[in-house]
A = this chain, B = another copy of it.
Amino acid sequence: MPVIDLSEEELRLHRVTTPEPADLDEWWAAHLAKTTAAATPTSLTRHEPELYGPLEVHDVEFSGAHGHRVRGWFLRPRSDEPLPVVVTYIGYGGGRGLPAQHTLLPSAGYAVFVMDSRGQGGQWSVGATGDAGAGTGPEHPGVMTRGISSPDDYYYTRLFLDAARAVDVAAELPGVDPGRIGVTGGSQGGALALAASALRPGQVKVCHSDVPFLCDLHRAIHIGTTRPYTEISDFLAQHDALVPTVLRTLQYVDCALLARRITAASLLSVGLMDETCPPSTVYAAYHEISAPKEMTVSRFGKHTTPTSHVETQLRHFRDHL
């Protein structure tokens, strides 16, 4: 549906109004510390060397939240020098897929580290990682309400911790320049790119986030008309007693609030006809970033990255990474 949400002028003025929890930074610091403490060594297994030719591919397993093992792909084009590396996050319902789906950046000379999304991967690209930390309450199908009655148990807390850890892991992968780390992703992947940049502010140099999910969450669950946001509103339609609890949990994983911590050079994109991640919620995050930033606005765009934006991203990586 065209012209949903606010007008173009209103989008420029719109700001997130949800207050930050007083303990937001301490809370994340504590969780990050615990996660780091629980980590065991990363393992790399060479994948199908004869198929991918000059491209070196490894199947990776590393420690995410609670020390749970998370899978990933590491793709590195042949080069004698340390390469910049881009951590890639996946959209909702998908998994890391196969290395064959991630060859663009290696073709252009970057190493890539693809993080699998725990407990996802059954809808549009295969996954390989379970969610060992399932929550303690009832759930709506999908992961949006898993553990939602407490920020400590919430699925997205675990996934954000995985994402932050993926940055640490990327820095230590062989043949990688740890001073040149970028992150990228679309939709849920875009949210993870924002979150990882916010939680690892010194380390991430460039942040690409396309049509990001999980921004301005209080607004999003009120105006969102499609899954995945409706997983939460449908759940609350049943569990009306849980409304305050859930709103509180969401404050800890709202990327529009976390965005204030980003120091990476940032490139976002937004579609003004996007019904899945309404444009106002994306603008809400964009406006909170104080680092150098740009945003590609697709006037008729829906929930997909604008067509020519991929080359804009290559240019941005070339200039900033």
Contacts and interface: CB of A to CB of B under 8 A. Distances in A.
A47 to B, nearest CB: 9
B95 A138 contact: yes
Contacts of A304: 237
B241 A308 contact: yes
B225 A2 contact: yes
A314 B51 contact: yes
Contacts of A53: 107-109
A122 B107 contact: no
A241 B301 CA distance: 11
A27 interface: no
Contact of A139 (B119, B125, B318): B119
Contacts of A123: 140-141, 234, 238
Interface string A268-304: 0001010000000000000000000000001111101
A302 B138 contact: no
A299 B234 contact: no
A67 interface: no
B311 A51 contact: yes
Interface of A: 1-3, 48, 50-55, 77, 93, 95, 97-98, 100-101, 103-104, 106-109, 119-143, 145, 147, 221-225, 230-231, 233-241, 243, 271, 273, 298-302, 304, 306-308, 310-311, 314-315, 318
